[in-house]
Amino acid sequence: MQLQLWQVDAFSDAAFGGNPAAVVPLEHWIDDGLMQRIANENNLAETVFFVRKEAGIYDLRWFTPEAEVELCGHATLASAWLIFDRLAPELNAIDFNTRSGVLRVERGEDGRHVMSLPTTAFAPFAAPEKLAREIAQALGTTAPREFFKSQYYLCAVWDDPADVRSIAGVGTIALVLAEIGSWGLIATAKGDAGYDFISRFFAPAKGVPEDPVTGSAHCLLTPLWAERLGKKTLRARQVSPRGGDILCTDDGARTVLSGPCALYMVATIDV
């Protein structure tokens, strides 16, 4: 069986920036195990598969190298770019049926498509002092000042953006997170260099040591920083080595993210 694959760099206007996603359109769903093996072989933070149901409506699923996940923003944006640019250029809006409900992406100006995702519920987390020390040791930086927790992610907040930028690696962070039932760590601080806030994201337990630009993390970060800064629309920068810019809007139950995409590769895979 041959399948087409597009590798698209999301949240970047040029190749080699933002977050790469492998996008695989299907005529019908294939075996779950095969999709997972394809994602593992691609070895990107995300491989996304979708099946067209009718004009403008698609079923969509996301896989890291290790597991299927509930939500991935950058691969959703990459899928929309492919449909708008190559597969169905007559469309101005797309509805994706996913594990996180219906996600709508609308065609934006200058290729900056606009994506509406469910806002992530989170709450302050009273982390033991030992946990803060272990996180600092694992990441090679100072201890964060405060924490918030969602169903899957721990969000750690630093006062100084330089502490987030200086994170050296993931170390033993997967073991530290497992102790509190989390598998992803968001590191964030108030922005610098003209940004409202900055962040990084780590999920080694899912085969993603550091994710370059993470849409799902911004479904928590956007309402957090919108409240603190007293503004609904914010400029965010994920300061991973590749890096990427996201325009974020807090719309209550929804978080609206927009950004460009760039095509890197078109390929055919034999499975």
Q: Find the catalytic residue in 46, 70, 129, 210.
A: 46
Contact of 143 with 163, CB cutoff 8 Å: no
**Nearest alpha carbon to residue 239 among 170, 191, 183, 185:** 191
Q: What DSSP string runs through 14-46?
A: STTSSEEEEEEEESS---HHHHHHHHHHHTSSE
Q: At what angle do helices 73-82 and 215-229 cross, to 10 degrees?
A: 110
Beta bridge partners of 263: 8
**Quick check: 23 and 2 in contact, CB under 8 A?**
no
* Structure-block tokens of residue 201: 């994201």
User: Which ranges of the chain does DSSP label H, i.e. alpha helix?
Assistant: 32-42, 73-82, 129-139, 161-165, 173-178, 215-229
| Residue 46 designated active-site | yes
Reduce the secondary structure of 147-183 to three states and give it as a string.
EEECCCEEEEEECCHHHHHCCCCCCCHHHHHHCCCCC
CB under 8 Å to 159, separation ≥6 — which residues?
Answer: 145, 189, 190
Active site residues: 46
